[in-house]
Amino acid sequence: MKILHIISQAPDFTGSGKYIQAILKCSAQNGHDNFLVAGVQSNGVSGDFSLSSKIIPYEKTMFVRFNGIGLKVVDLGYPLPGMSDVMPYKSTIFSTLTPSQINDYEEAFSRVIKKAANEFKPDIIHSHHLWIVSALTRELLPDIPMVTTCHGTCLRQFAFCEDIGRRISPAIKKINKIMALSNYQKQQIMQIHNIPSEKIYVVGGGYDEKLFCFAGKPLPPPVEILYAGKLSHSKGVPWLLKSMKKLSNQNYLRVKDSCSSSNNKNLPSFLPKWHLHLAGGGSGLEKDECLELANELESASKVGSNSDVRNRVTVHGALSHEELAALMKKAHLFILPSFFEGLPLVLMEALACGCRIITTSLPGTCEVLGSCDSALLESSDAVFSENSDSLISENSNNNMVTLVELPELETVDKPYSRDLEELETRLCEHIINSIKDLLKNPESNQKEIERLTQNYTWSSVFKRIENTYHKANTLI
């Protein structure tokens, strides 16, 4: 099958970027012929963006280039718009684009998409994000079967850019099949775009089980704590760093005072040595704030003469998949305090490496990790085509996953300021209890890890995607 893959942002650096790379690899391994259209950032120093030939040959790619400096091949002069308002590279926020810029954006992608389709002659189109470029593709190429993967951030853009959302929704409805990361996300798509249930397939997201795997861990202390993701507000990084600051007191007896609650008597009166690793990029003022808070946490840890509380924070910056996997294999505790997620693949990667997880109880996340309210979910015969299994994890009480309850949010990815102090206290308590449990039970629960991750290897996910391709093809 000849598959034209389309993504409006860089096919790297973010969750959807890593997702499309994995799909390209799996697709080639299963004998399909692939071609990629993507938006990329160009500059006069490093030149054009490119992917490894192990993912896709350069001659099988076409790019819409943004923000070029000194290059004649640039299509648009402003930074690449990202599906999140904070990207791991300099970017433009969709809600700030003028009508003229949006028109230029659509014209640039139209030229490249039509050229790719004319030269490659695809059997099917697989686009990413239910947003401008997917709608544009459906209107440009109405006779070619098309499927689109929703990564969640496109639903967030719909809330922030209502005029654009209303304009593109009719074309989104014409896409043959849509793939969602979770049943909860499927419900959102149905509600926002008024798309019938039978057009939406829940396929989930995956991880590389050969790279992200358990290889034993050093016994704590120190307790190695890891965050991996964008350095931004919506990912909860300032919340995490402020919560960790409560643990940095050189007098550990004060921890109980910093995290006071009715369960205070169950908290330890001291904590062992711990170390926080921050992995990931960012941009703009939000990244600067995160780095400043990390410096404050490190400075607070160095107060006094106790060497056990020094050098508590390492900021790694953006890491390759291989570097991240190596870090996860050493980490004991992985924390993802996001206020908005689709299905964060990084949780599956961390779990597969034997990390205990602390993350927020967002619907898509708790659906796959357990303890999700079944009233939020819809039974779907489109989850697996080959059997009656479900992507929904059984509810379980285990020592591998802790879900942090969130209050009502002010926006889709921002808490009310009145709740911030309580959120810091809540996360602080969960971190302390997880460390306490880790010291009592240092061995990872491999049986539970296997149960939670077995349906999320890329080979399993691609089987569900391939099934969706075949169903879309039968409609034309």
pLDDT class for 253, splitting at 50, 70, 90? very low
The angle that helices 153-160 and 162-173 make with each other, rounded to 10 degrees, is 130
152 exposure class (CB count in 10 Å sphere: 0-12, 13-18, 19+):
buried
Output DSSP code: residue 175.
Answer: -
How many whole angstroms separate alpha carbon 436 and alpha carbon 448?
A: 19
* Domains 2-175 and 223-455 fall in the same CATH topology: yes
pLDDT in tens, 51-107: 889 999 999 999 999 986 544 456 888 999 999 887 888 889 999 999 999 999 999
Mean pLDDT, range 138-153, rounded to an integer: 96
Quick one: which of 60, 12, 72, 52 has its CA closest to 35?
Answer: 60
How many whole angstroms separate alpha carbon 126 and alpha carbon 130?
A: 11
Rounded to the nearest 10 degrees, how much is the dihedral formed by the CA atoms of 433, 434, 435, 437?
90
Q: Taking the mean position of all CA atoms in its chain, how far away is CA 452?
A: 18
pLDDT exceeds 50 at position 44 = no
pLDDT in tens, 272-289: 789 999 999 888 899 999
- Report the predicted TM-score, pTM, of the whole model to 2 decimal places: 0.81
- What is the model's pLDDT at position 23? 97
- Based on its alpha-carbon atoms, the radius of gyration of the chain, rounded to whole angstroms, reads 23
Is residue 438 within 8 A of residue 332, CB to CB? The reply is yes
Is residue 279 within 8 A of residue 228, CB to CB? The reply is yes
Sheet with strand 274-279: strands edge to edge: 313-317, 274-279, 223-228, 333-336, 356-360, 401-404
218: how many CB neighbours lie within 10 A of its CB?
11
Residue spans of alpha helices (H) in 269-340: 284-301, 321-330
How many helices (H) and strands (E) are present in the chain, helices listed first? 15, 15
pLDDT class for 461, splitting at 50, 70, 90? very high
Quick one: which of 191, 152, 217, 174 has its CA closest to 16?
Answer: 152
User: CB within 8 A of 114, min separation 6: which ones?
Assistant: 140, 141
Is residue 371 within 8 A of residue 396, CB to CB? The reply is yes
Distance set, CA 441 to CA 66, 267, 271, 436 (Å)? 50, 16, 15, 9
pLDDT over 70 percentage in the chain: 83
pLDDT class for 48, splitting at 50, 70, 90? low
Mean pLDDT, range 289-306, rounded to an integer: 77
- Mean pLDDT for all residues in the chain: 85
Quick one: which of 222, 232, 296, 286 has its CA closest to 14?
Answer: 232
Which CATH topology does 223-455 take?
Rossmann fold (3.40.50)
pLDDT exceeds 70 at position 236 = yes
pLDDT in tens, 326-361: 999 999 999 999 998 877 889 999 999 999 999 998
Mean pLDDT, range 414-426, rounded to an integer: 91
Quick one: which of 117, 123, 170, 169 has its CA closest to 146?
Answer: 123
- What is the model's pLDDT at position 42? 77
In the chain, the amino acid numbered 197 is S
pLDDT in tens, 381-404: 333 333 323 343 433 445 789 999
* Residues 195, 199, 203: CA angle, nearest 5 degrees: 115
pLDDT exceeds 60 at position 30 = yes
pLDDT exceeds 60 at position 127 = yes
CATH class of the structural domain 2-175: alpha beta
Show me where the domains of the chain are located. 2-175, 223-455
